[in-house]
Chains A and B, each alone.
Chain A
Amino acid sequence: MSGSALVEIQGLSKRFVKTLDLAGKLANKLGSSIREETVHALDGVDMTVAKGEVVGLVGESGCGKSTLGRIVAGILAPSEGRILYDGRDVAALAPAEAKAVALKAQMIFQDPFASLNPRMRVRDIVGEAPLVHGLVTRGELESYVDEVLLRCGLDTSFKRRYPHQFSGGQRQRIGIARALAVRPDFIVCDEAVAALDVSIQAQILNLFIKLREELGLTYLFISHDLGVVEHISDRVYIMYLGRIVEMAVTEDLFAAPNHPYTKALLREVPRLETRHSDFLPVEGEIPSPLDPPRGCHFHPRCPHATRRCGEEAPTLREISPGRQSACHLNDGV
Chain B
Amino acid sequence: MGTDAPALKVENLETHFFTKAGVVKAVDGVGFSVERAQILGLVGESGSGKSVTGFSILGLVDPPGRVVGGRIEFMGEDIANADEARMQSLRGNRIAMIFQDPMMTLNPVLRIETQMVETVLAHRKVDRAAARARARDALGQVGIPSPDERLAAYPHQFSGGMRQRVAIAIALLNDPDLIIADEPTTALDVTIQAQILHEAQKLCRERGTAMIWITHDLTVIAGLADKVSVMYAGRIVEAGAIDDVLDHPVHPYTKGLIGSVPSRNKRGAPLYQIPGMTPALLNLAPGCAFRERCPRAAPACLEQPAPSEPVPGRSVRCFRPYVEAAS
- Do A268 and B273 have beta carbons less than 8 Å apart? no
Q: How many A-B residue pairs have CB under 8 A?
A: 135
Q: Are B262 and A264 in contact (CB under 8 A)?
A: no
Residues of B within 8 A of A269 (CB): 190, 219
Contact with B along A276-299 (1 / 0, CB 8 A): 111111100110000000000000
Besides A274-B222, A286-B191, 5 new A-B residue pairs in contact (Cβ under 8 A), listed by A number: A203-B273, A273-B222, A274-B219, A281-B198, A285-B192
Give the Cβ gap from B258 to chain A, nearest Cβ, in Å.
Answer: 7
In the bound complex, CA of A286 to CA of B190 (Å): 11
- Taking the closest CB of chain B, its distance from the CB of A330, in whole angstroms, is 22
Taking the closest CB of chain A, its distance from the CB of B289, in whole angstroms, is: 14
Q: Mark A191-207, 1 if CB is under 8 A from B, else 0.
A: 00000011111110110
Most buried by A among B246, B262, B263, B271: B262
Residues facing A in B44-91 (CB within 8 A) are 45-46
Query: Which residues in A have their C-beta under 8 angstroms from that of B260?
Result: 198-199, 201-202
Rounded to whole angstroms, the CA-CA distance of A264 and B190 in the bound complex is 10
**B192 close to A279 (CB less than 8 A):** no
Q: Are A209 and B270 interface neighbours, CB within 8 A?
A: yes
Once the chains bind, are B191 and A272 in contact (CB under 8 Å)?
no
The answer to the question of B23 belonging to the interface, with a C-beta cut-off of 8 Å to chain A, is: no
Residues of B within 8 A of A (CB): 45-46, 159-162, 189-195, 197-198, 201, 216-220, 222-224, 226, 242-243, 246, 256-264, 266-268, 270-274, 277-278
Q: Say whether A19 faces chain B, with CB atoms less than 8 Å apart.
A: no
Known: A169-B277, A281-B198. A275 touches B246 (CB 8 A): yes
Within 8 A of B (CB), among A190-244: 197-203, 205-206, 209-210, 224, 226-228, 230-232
Alpha-carbon separation in the docked complex, A277 to B220 (Å): 10
**Highest count of chain B CB atoms <10 Å: which of A60, A209, A250, A276:** A276
Chain A hits for B191, CB < 8 A = 60, 264-265, 268, 281-282, 286
A203 partner residues in chain B, CB cutoff 8 A: 273
B264 to chain A: which residues have CB within 8 Å? 230, 254, 271, 273
A61 to B190, CA, bound (A): 10
Q: List 22 A-B contacts (CB under 8 A).
A: A60-B189, A60-B190, A167-B277, A199-B260, A202-B272, A205-B271, A230-B262, A230-B264, A231-B267, A251-B267, A268-B191, A268-B194, A269-B190, A270-B193, A270-B220, A270-B222, A272-B263, A274-B219, A276-B242, A281-B198, A285-B161, A286-B191
Name the CB-closest residue of B to A264: B191
* Contact A228 B274, CB 8 Å, known A265-B190, A269-B190, A276-B223: no
**Bound: A66/B260 CA distance, A:** 26
Contact assessment for B194 and A279 in the assembled complex, using a CB-CB cutoff below 8 Å: yes
Q: Are B263 and A271 in contact (CB under 8 A)?
A: yes
B189→A277 contact, CB < 8 A: no
Q: Are B159 and A230 in contact (CB under 8 A)?
A: no
Cβ–Cβ < 8 Å partners of A228 in chain B:
262
Q: Is the CB of A202 within 8 A of B198?
A: no
* Distance in angstroms between the alpha carbons of A171 and B220 in the assembled complex: 27
> Within the complex, what minimum Cβ distance (angstroms) separates A267 from chain B?
8
* A286 and B191 alpha carbons, distance in the complex (Å): 9
Q: Quick check: B219 and A227 within 8 Å, CB to CB?
A: yes
Residues from chain B with a CB closer than 8 A to the CB of A201 are 260
B223 CB contact (under 8 Å) in A209, A226, A274, A286: A274
B278 contacts across to A, CB distance below 8 A: 197
Nearest 8 pairs of A and B residues by beta carbon: A202-B260, A231-B262, A270-B219, A268-B194, A279-B198, A281-B194, A60-B189, A202-B271
**Is B201 in contact with A230, judged by CB distance below 8 angstroms?**
no
Partner of B218, one of A61, A198, A205: A198
- CB < 8 Å: which of A169, A198, A281 contacts B257? A198
B222 touches A226 (CB 8 A): no
Q: Nearest CB to that of A268 among chain B residues?
A: B194
From A169, A198, A227, contact of B216 by CB (8 A): A198
Nearest CB of B to A192, in Å? 14
How long is the Cα–Cα vector from A226 to B257 in the complex, in angstroms? 18
Residues of B within 8 A of A167 (CB): 277
Chain B min CB distance to A253 (Å): 12
From the candidates B46, B201, B222, B256, name the one contacting A271 in the complex (CB within 8 A): B222
CB contacts (< 8 Å) of B272 on chain A: these are: 202
Cβ–Cβ < 8 Å partners of B198 in chain A:
279-281
Whole-angstrom CA separation of A200 from B47 in the bound complex: 13
- Which B residues are CB-close (under 8 A) to A209? 268, 270
Residue of B nearest to A202 (CB): B260
Cβ contacts under 8 Å, A199 to chain B: 45, 256-257, 260, 273-274, 277
